[in-house]
């Protein structure tokens, strides 16, 4: 039945709720989509083509993780020649990224958390490299370089990952950078490096607390009165690109929506406690 909620950690009073960058993206874009995705736990089928791309992206992340750990990678490479091509391209394009010394600490699939009230922020860093005077966050993207760097600056993955590292380490913002590597860029992988400032850090904190305040209000109203989360305004045009357009009763707005999930979204989804 539409609007009926199932039991989840979001609805348990005083539970600590895990929040990832994807939660923040969806909450900021459309609270109702957040409710459907994380409270109702509605899942959407993927096309065979998307399943293939998703699996290839997951395999590449696993490949880089295994290589970083010094574990055998041949079984992973055997799954697709593309994986070896991407890995060799990265090694040739940025060999310095894989060099280390006695003063460098590095870890693949590094997890950091920060608890604020009843919310536990979680970030999984594809590769974190720490040196005495600097920290570098590396993120693999198995698609070409996007047109706009500004969107990356404002993306909640960028903002949350930088924020968490500052809050859970001794590095000041100016000593931290976030670098995205876009593996499928032609003719070779391309990167976008994003620096960080104290001003940005303070703004992220303000925006995070504001979103948490909104989420708490929505959850309390939903818990007490079964009040649904707010919908995004139809005038934004976002509904026609949402998989839940029919569930929201807005299918008359335009044609069927394309799948809004990306390989990166799926890779970053943390398992929520039940």
pLDDT level of residue 235 (50, 70, 90 thresholds): confident
- Give helix 48-69 / helix 81-93 axis angle, nearest 10°: 50
Task: Report whether pLDDT(196) > 90.
Answer: yes
Q: What is the mean pLDDT of residues 58-77?
A: 95
The pLDDT of residue 45 is 80
Structural domains of the chain ordered from first start = 21-268 (3.90.320.10)
* Predicted pLDDT of residue 259: 41
Query: Average pLDDT in the 92-121 region?
Result: 94
Q: Are strands 176-182 and 190-195 parallel, antiparallel or unpaired?
A: antiparallel
Whether the per-residue pLDDT at 47 is higher than 90: the answer is no
With beta carbons less than 8 A apart as the criterion, state whether 33 and 242 touch.
yes
Whether omega for the bond prior to residue 187 falls within 30 degrees of 0, making it cis, is yes
Residues 264, 266, 268, 273: what is their CA dihedral angle, to the nearest 10 degrees? 170
Q: Tell me the average pLDDT across 91-118.
A: 94
- Mean pLDDT estimate for the chain: 86
CA gap 108, 127 in Å, rounded: 4
**Look-up of token digits 């009230």:** 117
| 41-45, 205-209, 229-233 — most confident range | 205-209
């Amino acid at each position: 039945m539409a609007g009926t909620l199932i039991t989840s950690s979001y609805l348990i009073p005083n539970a600590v709720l895990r929040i990832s960058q994807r939660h923040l993206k969806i909450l900021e874009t459309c609270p109702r989509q957040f409710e459907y995705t994380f409270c109702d736990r509605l899942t959407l089928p993927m096309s065979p083509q998307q399943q293939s791309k998703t699996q290839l992206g997951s395999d590449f992340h696993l490949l880089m993780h295994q290589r970083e750990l010094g574990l055998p990678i041949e079984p992973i490479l055997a799954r697709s020649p593309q994986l070896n091509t991407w890995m060799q391209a990265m090694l040739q394009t940025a060999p310095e990224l894989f060099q280390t010394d006695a003063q460098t600490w590095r870890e693949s699939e590094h997890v950091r958390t920060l608890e604020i009230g009843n919310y536990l922020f979680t970030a999984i860093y594809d590769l974190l490299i720490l040196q005495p005077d600097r920290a570098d966050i590396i993120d693999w993207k198995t698609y070409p370089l996007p047109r706009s760097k500004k969107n990356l600056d404002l993306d909640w993955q960028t903002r949350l990952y930088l924020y968490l590292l500052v809050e859970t380490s001794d590095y000041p913002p100016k000593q931290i950078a976030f670098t995205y590597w876009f593996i499928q860029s032609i003719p070779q992988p391309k990167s976008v490096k994003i620096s960080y400032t104290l001003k940005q850090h303070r703004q992220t904190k303000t925006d995070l607390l504001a979103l948490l305040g909104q989420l708490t209000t929505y959850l309390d109203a939903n818990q007490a009165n079964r009040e649904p989360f707010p919908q995004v305004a139809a005038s934004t045009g976002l509904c026609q690109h949402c998989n839940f357009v029919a569930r929201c009763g807005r299918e008359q707005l335009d044609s069927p929506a394309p799948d809004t999930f990306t390989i990166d979204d799926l890779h970053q989804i943390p398992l929520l406690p039940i």
